[in-house]
Amino acid sequence: MASALLGVGSPLLDVLAQVDDDFLSAHVSGAKGGMEMISPQERSVLMGFLGEKVSWVPGGSAGNTVFALAKLGIGVSMLGKTGADREGAFYREKLRSLGGSDREFAVTADAPTGVCVSLITPDAERTMRSDLAAALLLGENDVKRVDFSRYGIVLIEGYMLFSPTFDLVVEKTKEAGCLLAFDLASFEVVRLFRDRVEKLLEKTDILFSNADEARELLGNASPEKQLAELAGEHRLAALKLGPEGAMVRRGAETVRVPARLVERPVDTTAAGDLWAAGFLYGLIRGRSLEKCAQYGALLSGEVVKVVGSQLPEEVWTKIKQELSE
């Protein structure tokens, strides 16, 4: 029997650090917010400035979504490459412990497990700098050994555009008859790979975008016009608008769902990833588009109350109770 979903992306450990804007100005190049790649040397220097005041949790865009779906009882696996180190073993074991499968992971001794340094400022904004390390070594043979027909949906994170295997993953997904779900991931990804993103939309069945990504791709049109463009004639498209909620469109059907507003958000890390998890949970369970978007708002509204992507067990209990209702 096919599993519900295969996530494809970079299995990264998130390094979470709370910093101020002065720290960003002094030690981080590029704009605040979003994500940029850094070298192993830059990672080492940045970690030196942070010292010991950091925490480590499993992360990665697709990883965050997959872990949340596993927690909700959905059959999931993840395709990505970790190092043959304790960090990689920790990542794989964590997914197994939640009920997910680790059979699609690839492991290498040639590089350490990748890391995403998430710098969280007092306004709850996160600025991410990633060293993909082992994740960059995912090769053709790693992809070809996977039986994609085991899965109903293949969720590919936008950061996979940095991988030489991206086109092969898309090809295998479509050959197997899976639904292809694609998360644009960040406005920087859209900026760097605009032409490839535009071509990929023709093959995409489910698309996730936030306001910054849509603006980067489509300019300063209204959200309604952006959503219509993102959905086209055949896609299911979700446009996340932060505090203004989200809009979803499939064919002639469009729904708008308010956000679960939080008085004092702590950290926006993984908010979009958990929104996607809630939405996909509803979709897999056969719920209406409105319900799917409400589930997305529920999960993203909870994760901004904590640092990082890991929710306390009592919060998951509350979430599961609300989903069952």
CATH number of the domain enclosing 230: 3.40.1190.20
Please count the structural domains in the chain: 1
273 belongs to a structural domain: yes
20 belongs to a structural domain: no
Cβ proximity of 138 and 81 under 8 Å:
yes
The domain of 272 spans 3-10+64-103+139-324
* CA neighbor of 132 nearest in space, from 177, 167, 172, 82: 82
As averages over each run of 10 residues, the pLDDT of the chain (325 residues) reads 84 92 92 86 92 88 96 97 95 96 97 92 89 94 97 96 96 98 94 96 97 95 96 96 95 94 82 96 96 97 88 95 91
156 belongs to a structural domain: yes
254 belongs to a structural domain: yes
* Strands in 28-113 per DSSP E: 35-37, 55-59, 76-79, 81-83, 106-108
Whole-angstrom Cα distance, residue 292 to residue 256? 11
Whole-angstrom Cα distance, residue 74 to residue 6? 11
315 belongs to a structural domain: yes
Q: Which residues in 213-223 are b (16+ Cβ under 10 Å) and which e?
A: bbbbbbeeeeb
- Written as one letter, the residue type at 79 is L
Please provide residue 12's backbone torsions phi and psi, each rounded to the nearest 5 degrees. -115, 150
Whole-angstrom Cα distance, residue 102 to residue 77? 6
Place of tokens 């600025």: 127
- Written as one letter, the residue type at 222 is S
146 belongs to a structural domain: yes
29 belongs to a structural domain: no
> What's the pLDDT score for residue 1?
40
Neighbours of 240 (CB within 10 A): 26
> What's the pLDDT score for residue 2?
55
39 belongs to a structural domain: no
- Written as one letter, the residue type at 293 is A
Q: Where are the alpha helices (DSSP H) in 246-285?
A: 271-284
Close Cβ partners of 116 (under 8 Å, ≥ 6 residues apart): 12, 13, 14, 15, 35, 59, 60, 128, 129, 130, 131
Q: Indicate the helix (H) or strand (E) that contains 75.
A: none
